Structure 1
Amino acid sequence: MRENLEQYERLLETDEDAFEQPTTTRRELWAYYCYYNADSGVGPVTYGQALFQSALSAAGHDPAISPVVPGNCTTRGCVLPWGSGTRSVASVVLIANGVCFAVMSFLFVWLGSAADYGSFGRWLLLAATLVNWVFQFAFMSVRGAGQWKTAMGLYIVNYIAYGSTLVFFAAIFPRLARYMPHVRKAREEDLKDGRISQDEYDAIESLERNHISNVSTAHSNVGYVMTLAVSLSVLLPMRGNSYANNWALFLSTAYSIVFGVWWFIFQQKRPGPRLPRDSSYATIGWKQVFLALREIRHLPQTFIYLVGFFLLADGLNTTSTLISIIQNDQVSFSFLQITYLGLAQALCSVVSTLGFWRIQQRFNISTKRMFMVTNAFSVLLPFYGMLGLWTRRVGFHRIYDFWLYNVVFGLFQAPYYAYAQTMMSEVTPRGYEGMFFGLFGITNRASSVIGPNVVQAIVNASGNNWLGFPFLVGLCTAAVVVIWFVDVEEGREACRRFVDERKMVRVAREGGEQAEELVVAVSGRDAVR
């Protein structure tokens, strides 16, 4: 029955295999790694947030000092005018992040599924990448306190574009893995000829997904190291110069362009199926998400994972933002100090991602088990910050706390990103990567609607940044418990059934038959055989 169904799909061009999909080449794979190298986030996240927060602090004042004098912030607090009142600097940064995540949620639902059809995905990624680069350059114009509103606008647009590139680019790697030469041979020859079982093929493809995902993450961290090293070439000789930070941002953006452009040159055309009847690129996303929500009962493991990862990403993203706010205050927004700390994290990240991959490959450990190891540290990081409520010896009060944080984050959280997206690919139906990675993007980059809003309210009401950590400990712990119950093997099988059922319905529609008639007809032919 499946054979006949695939023939119908090829005839009607409703499946990606209806087109001759090219085998992944070494040049294409390295172009993919280079884009990850370029898209490390130094400009839009590390330097962008530091410039934004620096402008806010320069425009703010210490609420305990009267009369109000902008720029007199001390360690006791820093607020700035907001509406009819005031808000703390940390609260404004968290609000900006909340806006970013809300807009990304809308974009990923609207456009995520559209990326599965035709060549729309490649143009979508190109557009997001160009916006990301342009707004990083625009951030160079931020110079002082009077520009904090401009800085906020630039930060929001830049962060949204950067987050979009991560999501739309991540959706590509399952297809690259599927068409690697040895994986393709295993599927199209060994599996069809009965030399290997479906489970053995699943293990081959899963290992290749882990390989590409881990190596990509390692290259992202190599790019982080190289970008920071390039930035030091101006930060050290121009130490004390008011333009040093802006030139560092210029160099980091230039580095992104030099390494990122190769993907758009060497990527092969991998068109998806044509759009369904009565749909457009503007509407297909909403239709597909509605379909996905209706199919929860058919893909329970996929949605359990999305719920768990929603909580985990919310907790970890907000934890990272809160620690960055405290760190930027501690180092007085020094790009030089931020660069040194970032280098420590990036170097540890390169070692850990490659090390985790070697351990997994050597002992044949499942994706989920490797992911759970990293998740334990997702809870420990905010727990360490929570200790700062009762003592100043630990808990992000001294500079060595931030060295420790960046080393631990690099060693145990860098692989988290690789295994998170590999886990998503394990429970994503083939041909629906754009839709489900769009949902994954909502739970990842765009999930942090709860965390920033709750934490900014706590911080703004109390004036104490550390009071946000207890909430984050609870959020991350709940997430780890939910993910523990995800059954990856059951999820894979459910995805196969989902794809086959959708094939029957769509082939019937495109061929002008009723789904029931098609099932009867195909089943009848199989019976005759």
Structure 2
Amino acid sequence: MSDVLKSTNEEPEKLHIDDLASDHSSETTTTRKELWSYYLYYVGNNGLSGFNFGPSQFQNLLFLAGYDPTQEPFTAPCNDNGCVLPYLGRVRDINSIVLLTNGISFAIQALLLLTIGAWADYGRWRPNITIFFTLLAVGVSFGWLGVDKPEQWRAGTALYILGLIAYQCSLTFWTAAFPGLARDLPDVKQSLCEVNASEKSVQDHARLASLSRNRVSNISFAVCSLGEVIILAVMVGILKGLKSDESTQNNTKAFSVLIAFSGGVWCMVAILFTFLYEAEPTMAVLCALPWFFFERRRSGLTLPPGTTYLTIGFMQVYAALRECMKLRQTFLYLLFYFLMGDVLNTTVTVIGTLQNSVVAYSTLQLTLLLIVGIVAQGLGIYLFWLVQKKWKISTKAMVSFNAFWIIILTIWGLIGVHTDKFGFKHVWEIWLYQVFYGLMVCPWYAYSQTMISEVSPSPQMFLFFALFSVVGKTSAFIGPFVSSAIITASGNNDNMPFAFLFGLLFFLWMVDVEKSRVECEEFIMAEGDRAAFKTHDLVAA
């Protein structure tokens, strides 16, 4: 703890050389409208449909369609003896099915990001891709209205996979925009001018640039949390109207209604923003969110000779791996990001399956739990930001502090392997988990993204974001596959994957981010003329 908080006495974080040399020569200034439309996008893409209620409804349908493994197949409903279904060639525990399906979804996401992830660097593609995946996510959300019966669990599987892909891909391309937004903030651009005029030190500008990236990232999460609380409060009213607790049938139908409502919120946010800023209503609603209307089209790279949009993604990753091996500390951070992403993604997925079982798939219980969790999340992220802002704590220190609490979360689940008294086995633990997760763990999602921008060469920012995204998705689908196999091999012990997750955490302490920053500076100077990393051929994006 003391090592983390002593960052105020550390040597100031170094500024990337290219930040002073050109800073992409950006003539675009981030406006208030653009910044707030960026924040509001996250209120719409809040994950309630694809990341929260979608998985819960999927698992609920599996439970209702499954059977007791101690009896003849499909002769007795699921109970305390377990719940299994035939899936992909063998009979599996339904929690194992959820994890395996998660792995399939994340594998598809990784392939997509390898193919189209690089388009964020080139031409006009990134906004169009975000629009496509946003509309797909909304369409999938409304598609759940037709899937609310146990025998439709196979259709639910398809919607679950599509929903996760659409949610994660739209989120990835939205996230990739924040370093540019922070770089073009008026105070950051003014600070850069002062440095060039020898009126401000490089170190002071570095602190401001770093804090600005953290500000955009953290406030977007805090605004999302506030919006989610309002949405969830409305959902409680919907559940009361549907009388979700009166029968299993009502509860299952309520899941699908909530997913559709969450998708519809994207249009509601657009209409609200239209009134606030007098935007063109047709355009705002058509594109689902004002972000698509107010986003400034910043410069992108031209395609290198001999490449196409279908091949550039694979060539870009190959070039990064070939050219960047000298960035040893950056690749150590890449390893850190891979392992931490694997630990956290899989831990949350495993806890989610346990949570659904503990509360018996009650839509009302899950909604109330989410309200508590989202309130805690908003408080946690904003408090982390206030502390960082007041004491000028480095991003590295904030990430390290987050890692400590993720370790605690994993140990919590690990205890449940050999006891039924603790380890996400009781309703009170689930309530406590929501508070703990929101306050102490959720800031990771903001700081881990900011950290990528801190250790990546600025001219190739999108390239490295794509590389880190692919690595993140790879870890996300490997973890569920391994966890699913562990559950099956351990006699359907749903807590056993925590042992695997805890073991991975010992690799995290190898990363020296400060050395990574120095290597990035040297890399920019040494590799600036190579074709794979040219930055002077910019086109209007």
TM-score between both structures, scaled by the size of structure 2: 0.87
2:238 equivalent to 1:219: no
Cα distance change of structure 1 residues 295 and 510 upon mapping to structure 2, 3 Å threshold = closer
Aligned partner of residue 132 in structure 1, secondary structure? helix
Displacement after TM superposition at 1:219 (Å): 1.8
Matched letter for residue 224 of structure 1: E
Deviation digits for residues 396-453 of structure 1 (CA, Å, limit 9, x no counterpart):
1110010011100000011111110111110112232222112222233442232211
The alpha-carbon deviation at position 386 of structure 1 amounts to: 1.6
Q: Percent identity at matched positions?
A: 35
Could you tell me which residue of structure 2 aligns to residue 472 of structure 1? 501
User: For residue 192 of structure 1, what is the amino acid of its counterpart?
Assistant: N
**316-325 or 378-387, which deviates more:** 378-387
Show the counterpart of 2:32.
26
Partner of 1:238: 242
- Is 1:113 equivalent to 2:138 in the alignment? no
What one-letter code is carried by the residue in structure 2 that aligns with 1:170?
T
Q: Tell me the residue number matched to 1:253.
A: 263
Shift of 1:194: 1.5
- Equivalent runs, 1:46-85 vs 2, <5 Å: 46-66=52-72, 68-69=74-75, 72-85=77-90
1:525 counterpart residue number: none
Letter of the 1:168 partner, please give it. Answer: F
Task: Give the 3-state SS of the residue equivalent to 1:80 in structure 2.
Answer: strand
The equivalent residue for 1:362 is 390
Total equivalences in the alignment: 494
Structure 2 residue aligned with 1:385:
413
The answer (yes or no) to whether the contact 2:137–2:263 under 8 Å persists in 1 is: no
1:322-471 correspondence runs (5 A): 322-461=350-489, 462-471=491-500
Any residues of structure 2 matched to 1:98-109 within 5 Å, and which?
98-109=103-114
2:146 paired residue number: 141
Q: Which moved more, 1:455-464 or 1:239-248?
A: 239-248
Distance of 1:146 and 1:114 partners within structure 2: 40
In 2, Cα distance between equivalents of 1:365 and 1:508:
32
How far is 1:166 from its partner? Answer: 1.6
SS in 1 for 2:85: strand
Partner AA of 2:52 in structure 1 = T
Tell me the CA shift for residue 511 of structure 1.
11
Match of 1:88 in 2: 93
Whichever residue aligns with residue 93 of structure 2, its letter is S
Give yes or no for contact 1:116–1:431 (8 Å, CA) kept in 2. no
* 8 Å CA contact 1:426, 1:491 repeated in 2: no
Distance 1:421 1:25, change over 3 A: same
Q: By how many angstroms is 1:392 displaced?
A: 2.4
Distance of aligned partners of 1:201 and 1:150 in 2 relative to their CA distance in 1, 3 Å threshold: same
> 1:299-343: per-residue Cα shift (whole Å, max 9, x none)?
222211111111111111111111111111111111111111111
- Matched to 2:211, the amino acid is L
Question: 2 CA distance for matches of 1:396 and 1:253?
Answer: 30
Specify the SS of the correspondent of 2:495. helix
Contact 1:316 1:378 in 2 (8 A): yes
Contact 2:118 2:313 in 1 (8 A): yes
Question: Equivalent residue of 1:361, what SS?
Answer: helix
Contact map agreement 1:51 1:142 (CA 8 A) in 2: no
SS in 2 for 1:447: helix
Where does structure 2 lack aligned partners over 5 or more consecutive residues?
Answer: 1-16, 270-287
Please give the residue correspondences for 1:308-319 in structure 2 after superposition, counting only pairs within 5 Å.
308-319=336-347
Scaled by the length of structure 1, what TM-score is found?
Answer: 0.89
Shift of 1:504: 2.2
**Which AA in structure 1 matches 2:255?**
N
Q: Assess, with a 3 A threshold, how the Cα gap between structure 1 residues 507 and 320 changes in structure 2: closer, same or farther.
A: closer
Cα 1:234/1:511, change in 2 over 3 Å: closer
Map of 1:503 onto structure 2: 528
2:295 and 2:139 map into 1 onto residues whose CA distance is 22
Query: 2:169 maps to what in 1?
Result: 164
1:381 and 1:320 map into 2 onto residues whose CA distance is 9
Once residues 459 and 299 of structure 1 are traced to their aligned partners in structure 2, the CA distance between those partners, rounded to angstroms, is: 38
Give 1:479 deviation, angstroms: 4.5
Aligned mates of 1:508, 1:52 — CA distance in 2:
44
Q: Counterparts of 2:68 and 2:461 in 1: how far apart (Å)?
A: 49
Could you tell me whether the CA contact under 8 Å between 1:41 and 1:224 is conserved in 2?
Answer: no
Cα deviation per residue 1:22-58 (whole Å; 9 max; x = unaligned)?
Answer: 1000110000000112211011111100111111111
Counterparts of 1:404 and 1:511, CA distance in 2: 52
Whichever of the two has the greater Rg, that structure is 1
Give the drift of 1:507: 11
* Distance of 2:88 and 2:35 partners within structure 1: 50
Q: In 2, Cα distance between the equivalents of 1:420 and 1:508?
A: 24
Amino acid at match of 2:158: G
Provide the residue aligned with 1:209 in structure 2: 213
Partner residue, 2:200? 196
Cα RMSD (Å) of the superposition? Answer: 2.3
**SS of residue in 2 equivalent to 1:86:** strand
Q: Is 1:128–1:162's contact at 8 Å kept on the other side of the alignment?
A: yes
Between the aligned partners of 1:481 and 1:127, the Cα distance in structure 2 is 39
Stretch moving more, 244-253 or 333-342: 244-253
Rounded Cα–Cα distance in structure 2 between residues aligned with 1:407 and 1:508 = 44
Matched, 1:132 2:137: yes
CA distance in 2, matches of 1:292, 1:143: 45
> Displacement, 1:502?
4.1
Cα 1:495–1:396 change in 2 (3 A) is same
One-letter amino acid of the counterpart of residue 258, structure 1: M
Question: Which has the larger displacement, 416-425 or 240-249?
Answer: 240-249
Deviations 1:74-110 (A, max 9, x none): 1221111235531110111111110111111111122
**Equivalence for 2:276:** none
